[in-house]
Structure 1
Amino acid sequence: MKRPTLLTLLLCAALPAAASTTQPFAPSYLTVKDGAEAELKHFSSPEGCKRCHPRQYAGWQGSMHSIAFIDPVYQAEAALGTKETDGATHNLCKGCHTAIGTVSENISYDASTGKFGGFTTQGVAERGVSCDTCHSVSATNIAHTEMGEHGNASLELATDRIKRGPFDDAKARGHKTEYSELHTRSEFCANCHNVFNPVHGNFPLEHTYEEWKNSDYAKAEIQCQDCHMVPVEVAVRVADEMKPVKALEQHRLSGQAARGGPVRSVVHDHGFVGGNAVLAPLLGVEGGEAHAQEATKRLQTVAELETALLEADGKAQLSVTVHNRRAGHDLPTSLSFIRQVWLEVVIEDAQGNTLLRSGTLNADNSLPADTVVFQDTAVDADGKPEHKPWKIARFSVENSIPAKGSKTVEYGFALPAEGHYTVTTTLHYRSFDQSVADYLLTDSVTVPSVTMNRLTQRFEGTRLISSDNSL
């Protein structure tokens, strides 16, 4: 018989091993309303919703929500966790990536697929965070969480086919409706966009909701929905004017939420655009390229660069400040120990000779050791670097940029004896490091990066001659 590893013993001791009233799908906090038995037939396919809600379906199709279950990075990470912990972490991941598959207990593990195995399911459960996943949510289970906060799939799903949503006067033709104040607030999103490691004192592995909660956006009553369920141009206005969508003048988001329905003052998009411009195109799903373009556009509106140059004794000091202007949470957020935002600084004299270079990707798509990277550094219980979520005990370094905040770094270089020189400062983003892709994925994938902002300046001495902020 195979002997259990120390990690497995620790996980089994720390995670609820058996179902309970408050955690029937432990270690997630996912439940079914009234303790009902959930089956796939209790939930509608997105295509069924499309007939009356084509705009919402078009937004969702190709989004990260739509591929939450088939996402190859999720599949590999979850499978690896299942192998290394004898399944102890299984429900913790799938509770959010396929809540319907979890409550219907319709997910199978196949050890023969991928590097570490993979998961399969059927029907609507395979559609990730689908229409019915969100609109069947009847409550949050925050009252039962050990963290005292939303997270780890702290959602209650109903099997009664009543669709919950933000309108208190909705009268649908094909189903019953119910107003849900929860659907209008960031607390709805928090149930999956806070992830805690129950093995290590419920350490917050992902804390996007907490970042928002402590920001000026929360104080201004700007919800997640105000930025992630509107076109990028409107999200920019929300951040610049610091107002919820409904308070913006001429936001142009009025329309019908359903065919034949009344005209609403605000109808939200369902693309949930964030920063991931990689996975949907990689999978070739319908709408994937369009979502990637929106994600790129979003990334290119979020941050601004500012520089200052000082000189003493022939030596120059370049200060670069990165401002998080328009993200209502940290930059980066979510898996902040895997996401990468970094600076590339290149300084060349008039003849093209390099005076300084930092942050230019190596030939193998890795970052040089001296690169300034805005991300958190995760370590295990012994303080060793770690990227496997189930092993992470804490962050030894926290270097993300808070909402409406900034961080400044400095670079020293020798001034040229004469003539002008060019300083090119670029801010880049990618969803995960190349080493993560190499480790998790079977196929060879070169992880692309997005240029978030670029500032090209010409100096003579410390005098600025010209400046160009175009990408």
Structure 2
Amino acid sequence: MKPITNVLVCCIWFTFSLIITAQTLPTQTSTLFSGSGNCALCHQPGLPNTAALLDPDGQDISPVSLWRSSIMANAAKDPFWQAKVTAEVASHPFLQAVIEDKCTTCHAPLGRTEAVFNGAPGYSLTEMQNDSLALDGVSCTLCHQIKPDNFGGGSYSGHYLVENDRLIYGPYQNPFTMPMQLTVNYTPTFGEQMQSAAHCATCHTLFTPTVDNSGQIVGELPEQTPYLEWRNSRFSAEGRICQDCHMPPIDDEVIIANRPIWLGARTPFWRHYFVGGDVFMLTLLRDNAAAIGVTATAEHFDSTLARTRRFLRNQTAGLAADAEWLLQDTLAIKVAVTNRTGHKLPTGYPSRRMWLHLRIEDGSGQPVFESGSWDPVSGEIAGLDSPYEPHHQVIRTAGQVQVYQALMGDVDGNLTYTLLRGATYLKDNRLPPEGFTTQGPFYDSTRVEGMAAQDPDFNRSAGQEGSGSDTVFYHIGGLAPGESYRVDIRLRYQSLAPRFAADLLQYNTPEVA
């Protein structure tokens, strides 16, 4: 396998110092929610029980320590997200209220959900910026209060259900309730939904409005559908859920709170990594911590970044290749890319792409052919003059590159990077998960689009659908069979394609600037 690069009786209280010394976690409360700083008082290592929330090696695995440097914790502070929201508003100012309310539902849920609960018609970015709970991102008391009653289609696009009954759901039977009731006025309760992929789907299945040339909403676009992709996969059939990869559990017994001191251990314990693939944004958050107002230290971000890179390299994709002489001077290289995840690769927001980078060097180390080379500064792929690169089965020239991506089209079929103009996908050759078929559930929302749909080995093996792989053939002429060549093949990944980012620059908003 080649590497992918770049690319959470009485209670005795003690006063103690927090281990973490970044910007303070919020301790504000509202009718429905409580800031993560209140949860941290008990759910991080410290007195009275200093053995709590440590793994067998003595490492801190507390939810707050692992979560605070994640994309989830920083969802409301994410500079790219803020810039994109303001750009969409600049493009459709008459829809500002709709756009900002829609986007804050999942990026600033503690603020937006509280506002709507109290009778507000919606929620704005201005309100978010002045609301410490909103800026707590996807925080503890949002996820742990979501009810399963409307799981499925009724819960998608941020229609999660939170009620004012002060129940905090967790994965353990028979929780000890008194400490939490006394300190934060929530009652811990066993909830099977905490081990359900449908829980994640409430925000990670998102349909956004489609706006036509006259400014009318005429439909919707499946902006991100990892849950629906998973449903049409072997992983779903085997009961392997989102949390297994993104919050990997350990079977060691863990004391889940530092008080009361006699609290017993639980197993398994889900590590609140929320690991994904956005090295770019994690780096930006770390390097601009003070300006953005993050609550994690550089050390926390470094740990999350290292974890993310390992995740990308070891758990997402596989590469295999072989070569033979096709003609006297033509080398045929067969490259197979396999998706190891339970959703499309890449999945989620359509700014993401991955591509094959193949380089052939002669015996002296000089390049004789290269497809997919890129500029690490600009992020651009060499030779791609058009943002739309078709799907390839056979590559013969350096100007042909296999790029796995989803490209949006507007109502006229023109390429667009503006989310609300997205009516369809002109191209979607992202690698499906193993077991994915055109007859499987939710295919209409997760279709393969473009020339990949006609590629006989795209998600097919021996004529059967569901391989979760693609085979690309490189036919490279002008070589000498008697010479020695070195072939280097890499699968590269970007969470933010340069032209997607560059499209923002046409909008004059403070967040874009």
- Normalised by the shorter chain, which TM-score bucket? 0.7 to 0.9
Q: TM-score, normalised by structure 1?
A: 0.74
Structure 1 counterpart of 2:231, from 193, 213, 221: 213
Aligned position for 1:194: 205
Aligned position for 2:192: 181
Cα offset, 1:376, TM superposition: 1.6
Task: Tell me which protein shows more strand as a share of its residues.
Answer: 1
Which amino acid in 2 is paired with 1:134?
Answer: C
Count of residue correspondences? 374
RMSD across aligned positions (CA): 2.4
Counterparts of 2:149 and 2:277, CA distance in 1 = 26
Cα offset, 1:310, TM superposition: 2.8
Which amino acid in 2 is paired with 1:411?
Answer: Y
Structure 1 counterpart of 2:346, from 328, 332, 348: 332
1:103-136, Cα deviation, whole Å (9 max, x unpaired): 23395545xxxxxxx9613122111101111112
Counterparts of 1:401 and 1:228, CA distance in 2 = 19
Counterparts of 2:403 and 2:484, CA distance in 1 = 29
Aligned position for 1:400: 430
1:75-108, Cα deviation, whole Å (9 max, x unpaired): 0111122232331322221110011111233955
Q: Which moved more, 1:316-325 or 1:100-109?
A: 100-109
Aligned position for 1:359: 372
8 Å contact 2:128–2:134 — kept in the other structure? no
3-state SS in 1 of match to 2:133: helix
8 Å contact 1:380–1:386 — kept in the other structure? yes
Shift of the 328–254 alpha-carbon distance from structure 1 to 2, 3 Å rule, reads farther
Aligned position for 1:159: 164
Structure 2 counterpart of 1:43, from 9, 33, 44: 33
- The answer on 1:224 being equivalent to 2:242 is yes
Poorly superposed stretches of 4+, deviation over 6 Å = none
1:422-443, Cα deviation, whole Å (9 max, x unpaired): 0000111111112333443799
Counterparts of 1:440 and 1:201, CA distance in 2 = 24
Shift of the 93–426 alpha-carbon distance from structure 1 to 2, 3 Å rule, reads same
Cα offset, 1:365, TM superposition: 2.4
Aligned position for 1:255: 254
Structure 2 counterpart of 1:131, from 140, 145, 148: 140
Shift of the 401–424 alpha-carbon distance from structure 1 to 2, 3 Å rule, reads same
Counterparts of 2:68 and 2:470, CA distance in 1 = 36
1:356-380, Cα deviation, whole Å (9 max, x unpaired): 1011113632113132111122111
Structure 2 counterpart of 1:53, from 27, 43, 49: 43
Aligned position for 1:434: 498
Aligned position for 2:104: 94
8 Å contact 2:318–2:337 — kept in the other structure? yes
Cα offset, 1:140, TM superposition: 5.0
1:392-448, Cα deviation, whole Å (9 max, x unpaired): 1111222111223111112121332532100000111111112333443799xxxxx
Where structure 2 has 5 or more consecutive residues not aligned to the other structure, the ranges are: 1-28, 45-61, 116-121, 182-186, 211-217, 287-295, 385-399, 435-467
- The answer on 1:300 being equivalent to 2:313 is yes
Cα offset, 1:306, TM superposition: 0.7
Structure 2 counterpart of 1:411, from 458, 471, 474: 474
Which amino acid in 1 is paired with 2:132?
Answer: G
Cα offset, 1:255, TM superposition: 1.3
Which amino acid in 2 is paired with 1:313?
Answer: L
Aligned position for 1:288: 301
1:289-332, Cα deviation, whole Å (9 max, x unpaired): 2211111110001211111213232211111111112x111110
Which amino acid in 1 is paired with 2:333?
Answer: L
Where structure 1 has 5 or more consecutive residues not aligned to the other structure, the ranges are: 1-38, 111-117, 231-244, 246-250, 444-471
8 Å contact 2:100–2:125 — kept in the other structure? no
1:130-169, Cα deviation, whole Å (9 max, x unpaired): 11111122345457xxxx4542102112234321222231
3-state SS in 2 of match to 1:47: helix
Counterparts of 1:121 and 1:183, CA distance in 2 = 30
Counterparts of 2:474 and 2:204, CA distance in 1 = 35
Counterparts of 1:83 and 1:397, CA distance in 2 = 26
Counterparts of 2:424 and 2:503, CA distance in 1 = 22
Shift of the 274–364 alpha-carbon distance from structure 1 to 2, 3 Å rule, reads closer
Counterparts of 1:353 and 1:412, CA distance in 2 = 19
Q: TM-score, normalised by structure 2?
A: 0.68
Counterparts of 1:192 and 1:310, CA distance in 2 = 47
1:260-317, Cα deviation, whole Å (9 max, x unpaired): 4322220101121011112133122422222111111100012111112132322111
1:174-208, Cα deviation, whole Å (9 max, x unpaired): 23122222221000000001111243543311010
Counterparts of 2:128 and 2:486, CA distance in 1 = 51
Counterparts of 2:168 and 2:430, CA distance in 1 = 37
Structure 1 counterpart of 2:281, from 272, 279, 287: 279
Aligned position for 1:22: none
8 Å contact 2:409–2:415 — kept in the other structure? yes
Counterparts of 2:130 and 2:163, CA distance in 1 = 20
Q: Percent identity, aligned pairs only?
A: 27
Cα offset, 1:252, TM superposition: 3.7
Aligned position for 2:266: 264
